[in-house]
Amino acid sequence: MAWKLMFASAVAMAARSVPYAVAKPAGKSFVAHASDLLPLKSTPINPDWIVSGNPQARTAEHSRGHDEASLTAIWDCTAGEFRWYFGWDETVMILEGEVHITAEDGTERTLCAGDVAFFAGGTWASWRVDNYVRKVAFLRKPFPKPLAIAYRLRNMLRNNGNQGIAA
């Protein structure tokens, strides 16, 4: 454990010495679309995950981060019940319709238009769509544990020990 902390400290110190912006990222720096005009493509739900009904899902990618570690998409689905595995951290905002969610820990919640929810990468949730749901999804690949620890340590050092939000 001690060597991990020492390694994380070394990485954090190295990260502090690297300038914030080495070079401008290639590609687009601003992307804007009307969410209802993005062309949705069929993205079938894994048949092993479907509990009942015949839910039909579609997705349209809106944008992707230059580092390929983040993605924004529009997703919709017709009636049905299924389990969903979140491979990435995902924050959703319901744009239309509603969905009944049951998280792994048994927490139940109905999300309606305007509601925002977070699903941690590596978790499952049950989704029940009675009619239709449309959402915007903000996805981010989680950092590996050692890198996440180093990142948090770097932020603590930058903020003199404060745990606030930092870039």
How does DSSP assign 87-135, residue by residue?
Answer: SSEEEEEEEEEEEEEEETTS-EEEEETT-EEEE-TTEEEEEEEEEEEEE
Flag the least confident range among 14-28, 72-86, 91-105.
14-28
- E-state strands within the chain: 41-42, 50-53, 57-64, 70-86, 89-103, 108-112, 116-119, 123-140
Is the pLDDT score of 127 beyond 50?
Answer: yes
Domains of the chain plus CATH, in order, are 41-140 (2.60.120.10)
Instruction: Please tell me the predicted confidence (pLDDT) of residue 27.
Output: 64
Instruction: Please tell me the predicted confidence (pLDDT) of residue 149.
Output: 84
The helix or strand, by DSSP H or E, that contains position 157, with its residue range, turns out to be helix 145-158
Q: Whole-angstrom Cα distance, residue 44 to residue 59?
A: 10
Confidence category of residue 26, pLDDT binned at 50, 70, 90: low
Name which residue leads in pLDDT, 94 or 28. 94
Exposure of 30 in the CB half-sphere (CA atoms within 13 A): 0
80 forms bridges with which residues in the sheet? 53, 129
Q: What is the mean pLDDT of the chain?
A: 84
Percentage, residues of the chain above pLDDT 70: 80
Confidence category of residue 2, pLDDT binned at 50, 70, 90: low
The pLDDT of 138-159, averaged and rounded, is 84
What is the per-residue pLDDT across 37-94, written as a single tens digit (0 to 9) for each? 899 999 999 999 999 999 999 999 999 888 878 999 999 999 999 999 999 999 999 9
Instruction: Please tell me the predicted confidence (pLDDT) of residue 163.
Output: 59
pTM of the model: 0.73
